[in-house]
Amino acid sequence: MTWSLMDKCCDRCWHSPEYPCRHYIRCRLNGPLCHEDPECRKKRENRLREIMYGKYGFKIKVPMASCTIAAGAREVYDAVIKEVKSRGIRVDVRKTGCMGMCYIDPWIELVKEGMPAAIYANVKPEDIPKIIKEYLEGDVSGAFALRYRTGKAKGEDKVPLLEELEPWKNQVRWVSRNCGIVDPESIEEYIALGGYRGLDRALNMKPEEVIEEIRKSGLRGRGGAGFPTWLKWKIAREQPGDVKYIIMNADEGDPGAFMNRLLAESDPHRVLEGMIIAAYAIGASKGFIFVRAEKPLMAERLAKAVEQARKYGLLGENILGRGFSFDVEVILSAGAFVCGEETALIAAIEGRTSPRQRPPYPATRGLWGKPTIINNVETLAHVATIMAEGWEKFVKYGTEKTKGTKMFCVTGSVKRTGAYEVPVGTTIEKLVMEIAGGPPEGRKVKAVQIGGPSGGCIPASLLSTPIDYETLQKAGAIMGSGGIVVIDDHSCMVDVAKFFTSFTVAESCGKCFPCRIGMKILYDTLEKITNGEGTEEDIEILEELGDVIRSSSLCALGGTAPNPVLSTLRYFKDEYLAHVRDKRCPAKVCTRLVEYWINPEKCTGCGTCAKNCPANAITGEPGKKYVIDPSKCIRCGRCYITCPVGAVEKR
């Protein structure tokens, strides 16, 4: 067992969870503080270097988050271990979190003292021997990017630095600073990188001062609604009674949003630290982490972080000797989208279902009738960072109304899918076209869907809109949790609206009529339109029904569920009209509204289409041109998929 940074340096150090020391956190980085001993100091400094460069001055990092594992990181990890063992290289192979650049997954990073830290992208297990061999020979020319340069390696000037890369250059990595760097399962590494300093500082202040600090930073809830965090805390703090709760909402459920998972999987201690600070500010004695069971790794890492923090006295009785006691329990949720609504989340923890009418708000009457604060994962990560770095640095970014940075997940039709952290107020164009690289060649952005199924579509003409709570609301979308789905000209907007509506129909809890029945009728009407049976009356129904569902539903799920329909109606009404008037789908997506035909110039007469046609609508002889009979065609699209030369076309 090696000596860990978290352990006692010698018997003179008396910190333990039972008898916590006030200077514990500072002592880790600048210690020992209670006694002077060059021996102890050297021991600590050596350990810090070991964490930085590995035990043997050489470290290989393999990202292990759900996303990278899905891309094949586990196989890469096994290959690295095998290679290291077979060649007998003295190296520390560590697991880290995800950087947020999904398009280079799985990547590995090699760090050796005196060498530049090189990142290799899209690594396959069979590439590993070559990569390690080259790196050890001092050649980094095959790397994707370097974290820093030393000027000693071969081919160093040909490889760009990470911060010179387009997706990195425009980012401000504030909460995600440790993602991809720190080992998420090691509290030691987090502390070595300056972690828990924020908690140390917060516990030195009065709770009111902590709230004041957050007020000055202007932090607003990153979960979607943008309610000022300090105000929420203040309301809860001023409530009478000594039992208060705090809940971390890690139940991220929007399709296309994964920044909470990324943060909690790659840097769980930061999130936990924020939660302890928040608990101290409102005076909560017990916290709950409400995390999706569908994201087992995220739950596992958070549980592990809680366990480690408890082990070193950062959770439990009398934290850091400041007389504040707090403990956390991890609760697995069943994964309902409606739990994004605070009251539904509380009901789920209590063992009941469905949201209730607000007010009273949870800050005054929440879990088991006690004042409860619910904060998003990202908000809490911001809290920890603000407390560590100070609000002055935070307010440098952002707009007048919203300060700081926000993580966005850009998915859909872009070259560089990923989670990027940018200052609030960055334009959508910059995020989509510059950072994420825009759509693949030959395609054009048609719209972006912001905020998942509760958000709205913003057309390409409004891409210069700065991203902020108010501006997005004005444009008909919401910030939501920050998922951005880029839609190109190969997508039909009615179909997109239908997709998001089908999601909310499935996720509606069924308590109130407008959401339960109204959304189903909205979906049926959309289906009617995409099947070519719609009339102009149906469009009026969509508009009226959407407005009623929005204004009279019980909770925010129903209140925002018609947004995709209403926003596409607002900006793409001509597409809806083309569906109902001309019975035509401009993007050629709605299968019932397109006609398949075989281009005689391309057809080679192979007969694959005729063999695959389930309706026997394709006639012809091998070697000659085939023809589709439109009256028999059921528009299943099999010929379109199976044709080897692409002769089947839509019109």
Partner 1 sequence: MVKVYVNDKPVEVGEGAHLLDAIIKAGYSVPTLCFFKEIYREASCRMCIVELANGRLVPACAYPVSEGLKIYTDTERVRRNRRVILELILAAHRMKCQSCPRKGGYCLLLDLAKEYGVEGIPVCAECPLHESECLLTKGIPCLGPITMAGCNSPCTREGTPCIGCRGPITRKDVLEEAAKLYLKYNIDLDELYSKMKLFWNNHPKLDYIYNVIKEVIKKNTKEGSLR
- Dihedral (CA of 517, 523, 526, 531) sign: negative
Residue type present at position 303: A
Residue 246 CB, nearest distance to partner 1 (Å)? 25
Residue nearer to partner 1 on the CB measure, 514 or 564 = 514
Residue 650 CB, nearest distance to partner 1 (Å)? 33
Residue nearer to partner 1 on the CB measure, 66 or 552 = 552
CA 69 to CA 297: how far, in whole Å?
Answer: 10
Q: 273 with 313: CB under 8 angstroms?
A: no
Residue 507 CB, nearest distance to partner 1 (Å)? 17
Helix, strand, coil percentages for the chain (3-state, nearest 5):
45, 15, 40
Show the tokens assigned to 616. Answer: 């026997």
Q: 108 with 68: CB under 8 angstroms?
A: no
Residue 513 CB, nearest distance to partner 1 (Å)? 5
Residue nearer to partner 1 on the CB measure, 122 or 551 = 551
Residue 548 CB, nearest distance to partner 1 (Å)? 4
Residue 520 CB, nearest distance to partner 1 (Å)? 8
Residue ranges with strand state E in 148-263: 245-250
CA distances from 506 to 209, 224, 478, 499, 561 (A): 44, 21, 21, 11, 11
Residue 338 CB, nearest distance to partner 1 (Å)? 14
Residue 336 CB, nearest distance to partner 1 (Å)? 17
Residue nearer to partner 1 on the CB measure, 365 or 430 = 365
- DSSP structure class, residue 68: H
Residue nearer to partner 1 on the CB measure, 506 or 548 = 548
CA 129 to CA 351: how far, in whole Å?
Answer: 52
Helices (H), 194-288: 197-203, 207-217, 229-238, 259-266, 268-282
Q: How far is CA 507 from the centre of its chain?
A: 20
Residue 541 CB, nearest distance to partner 1 (Å)? 10
- The CA-based angle 34-40-43, given to 5 degrees, is 140
Q: 612 with 603: CB under 8 angstroms?
A: no
- Candidates 96, 51, 55, 52; CA nearest to 73 is 96
Residue 547 CB, nearest distance to partner 1 (Å)? 8
Burial zone of 244 (CB within 10 Å; 0-12 exposed, 13-18 middle, 19+ buried): buried
Residue nearer to partner 1 on the CB measure, 286 or 356 = 356
Helices (H), 283-341: 296-311
* 3-state DSSP assignment of residue 646: coil
Residue nearer to partner 1 on the CB measure, 48 or 517 = 517
Residue 551 CB, nearest distance to partner 1 (Å)? 5
Residue nearer to partner 1 on the CB measure, 216 or 365 = 365
Measured torsion, CA atoms of residues 299, 303, 304, 309, in degrees rounded to the nearest 10 = 140
- Residue ranges binding partner 1 (CB under 8 A): 356-357, 359-360, 511-514, 516-518, 521, 544-545, 548, 551-554
Residue nearer to partner 1 on the CB measure, 354 or 642 = 354
Residue nearer to partner 1 on the CB measure, 70 or 548 = 548
Residue nearer to partner 1 on the CB measure, 40 or 517 = 517
Q: 275 with 108: CB under 8 angstroms?
A: no
What b/e sequence results for 185-194 when a residue is b if at least 16 CB atoms lie within 10 Å of its CB, and e otherwise?
A: bbbbbbbbbe
Residue 349 CB, nearest distance to partner 1 (Å)? 19
CA 446 to CA 171: how far, in whole Å?
Answer: 24
Residue nearer to partner 1 on the CB measure, 241 or 359 = 359
CA 184 to CA 396: how far, in whole Å?
Answer: 28
Residue 518 CB, nearest distance to partner 1 (Å)? 5
Residue nearer to partner 1 on the CB measure, 416 or 550 = 550
- The CA-based angle 275-276-278, given to 5 degrees, is 65
